[in-house]
Homo-oligomer: A and B are copies of this chain.
Amino acid sequence: MATRRIRARRGDGALLRDEILCAAEQLLVETGTEDALTLRAVAGRAGVSTPSVYLHFADKEALVEAVCLRVWDELGALFAEAAASCDDPFLALGRCGRAYARFALDHPVQYRVLMMRPSTGEDAAAACLRHMVGAVAACVETGVLRGEPEKLALALWSAVHGCVSLFIAQPSFPWPDDREALIDTVVRAAGFGGAMYSRLPRDLPPSAELAEELDEFGARVTTRTRARAKR
């Protein structure tokens, strides 16, 4: 902790950058909050004086953002894995949504800092949306989703981001026991919603009538699915 770092050799000044990032990440994960991420604490853990941080980061904000961005590569890998895990693009989309949620809940502090604050995380958000658009586009291509992929992706992204961000930001809220199941519900509902919204007219039939149609549709798909399963 308080052990002074041996000064880097000439030309290796950038080594400190990585050590600072590691120290900051440790602090963030250990304490579970970015409030513990003071420049003094980070520098102390890196075995370096406080202003040395400014040799590699413009200000505290830049350090925090850089730390949180470190985990963002994982998201790309998780998405790729989820997308490749299954031939059917609609099922793959669902897995992507679940993978996204897992990623966010695995890195709650980083997710909150980058996604729930103004003036940070624009790049991270762009990456999220880009991945979403990719998974959605495959569904549009096969016709199960209809509409502009951007718009659809934003709607799906909103749903899953909303769910996990509530979990993260309101940890003491009496959520249902099985969060996994709730995420599943949200992802499925968002997917179905995306499939429906551009197929239904703007002027909806009255609820009772719509309910009947929905019942009928649901029953037909269910029986056909069961029949196929028996084959």
Cβ–Cβ contact A193 & B188, under 8 A: yes
Known: A91-B204, A190-B190. A125 touches B163 (CB 8 A): no
Cβ–Cβ contact B204 & A225, under 8 A: yes
Chain B: minimal CB distance from A96 (Å): 14
A7 contacts B by Cβ under 8 Å: no
A211–B115 alpha-carbon span in the complex (Å)? 33
Cβ–Cβ contact A189 & B197, under 8 A: yes
Cβ–Cβ contact A226 & B201, under 8 A: yes
Cβ–Cβ contact A197 & B185, under 8 A: yes
Cβ–Cβ contact A116 & B207, under 8 A: no
Cβ–Cβ contact A201 & B221, under 8 A: yes
Cβ–Cβ contact A218 & B196, under 8 A: yes
Known: A143-B207, A155-B189, A201-B225. A112 touches B119 (CB 8 A): no
A229 contacts B by Cβ under 8 Å: yes
A121–B166 alpha-carbon span in the complex (Å)? 11
Cβ–Cβ contact B218 & A200, under 8 A: yes
Cβ–Cβ contact A192 & B186, under 8 A: no
Chain B: minimal CB distance from A42 (Å): 20
Cβ–Cβ contact B200 & A222, under 8 A: yes
Cβ–Cβ contact A210 & B221, under 8 A: yes
Q: Which of B112, B155, B176, B226 contacts A151 (CB 8 A)?
A: B176
Cβ–Cβ contact A182 & B196, under 8 A: no
Cβ–Cβ contact B125 & A166, under 8 A: yes
Cβ–Cβ contact A199 & B182, under 8 A: no
Known: A159-B162, A192-B192. A207 touches B118 (CB 8 A): no
Interface positions of A (Cβ within 8 A of B):
33, 88-91, 112, 115-119, 121-122, 125-126, 139, 142-144, 150-151, 154-155, 157-163, 165-166, 168-173, 176, 182, 185-186, 188-197, 199-201, 203-211, 213-215, 217-222, 224-226, 228-229
